Amino acid sequence: MANTSLRRARLLVAYDGSTFHGFAKNPEVPTVEGALTEALEKITQTDIHLVAAGRTDAGVHARGQVLSLDLPTRTKIDSLPKKLNALCGPHIAVREAAWTDASFHARFSAIWRHYRYTVLNAATPDPFLATTAWHLHQPLDVRPMQLACDAVMGERDFSAFCRKPVSTGTSSNESSNDVDECDESDGAATDVGASRVNATGVAGRARKPASMKRYVMKATWKRTGDLVEFEVRANAFCHQMVRSLVGT
């Protein structure tokens, strides 16, 4: 595609993960990144490289996934969400698009990530919640579950809760030890969002996690009728961390 003057932009995206085989691009199966990249390249007629605040696996939904990318300066940023939603909908919704500082990086500028895991705690399953909640018929007592959350607060080594990373020979900026990835293949997890310091998306570089150490800022259980929700916020998550915390 033609070379052109580029400018850094930020997208805020929501998607239904049950329709895709995860976020990361894979030429063999439908993915969120693949669909967005194809639509963006069609609109801009420029090669597009997306950077996500966190990579979600198959079945994980998102309400506030943050993406950074470089777009041609001629791009009409205000009308971009409408154009993208026309091409990517209904399972992907671009909620916001804005120009941002050239130093903004969706992954490294994120201060925290927030996930919600939903459990349907009822005698029978609900077909309308099949892609958004894990059905568990055994009665759950939220009070001791909440007390257990104290043990995961603060900075801890979560090696026991994560699938061990495999060295891929990537650069230090893409080290597998520093991946924020949520693998919740039963569809009960939702990536609620990643924080930005201000509306333009400018943020300082977050502290790079060492090995499997993560800093958990929030971990709470809440029951509303038959729905039991676990919300967790941390500087980053490792592979299968949220799922393992819920199961434990």
Q: Which residues contact 96 (CB under 8 A, 6 or more apart)?
A: 10, 11, 12, 81
Question: In sequence order, what E strands does 73-131 have?
Answer: 92-99, 113-120
Give the dihedral of Cα atoms 111, 67, 60, 158; nearest 10 deg.
-30
Token pair of 237 as six digits = 């998550």
Identify the active-site residue in 16, 47, 57, 101.
57
| Distance (Å, whole) CA 159 – CA 44 | 42
Residue with tokens 């020979």: 169
| Distance (Å, whole) CA 86 – CA 93 | 9
| Distance (Å, whole) CA 72 – CA 227 | 45
Token pair of 212 as six digits = 């499997």
Q: Which is nearest to 62 in space by CA: 178, 169, 194?
A: 194
Annotated catalytic residue 157: no
Q: Write out the catalytic residue numbers.
A: 57
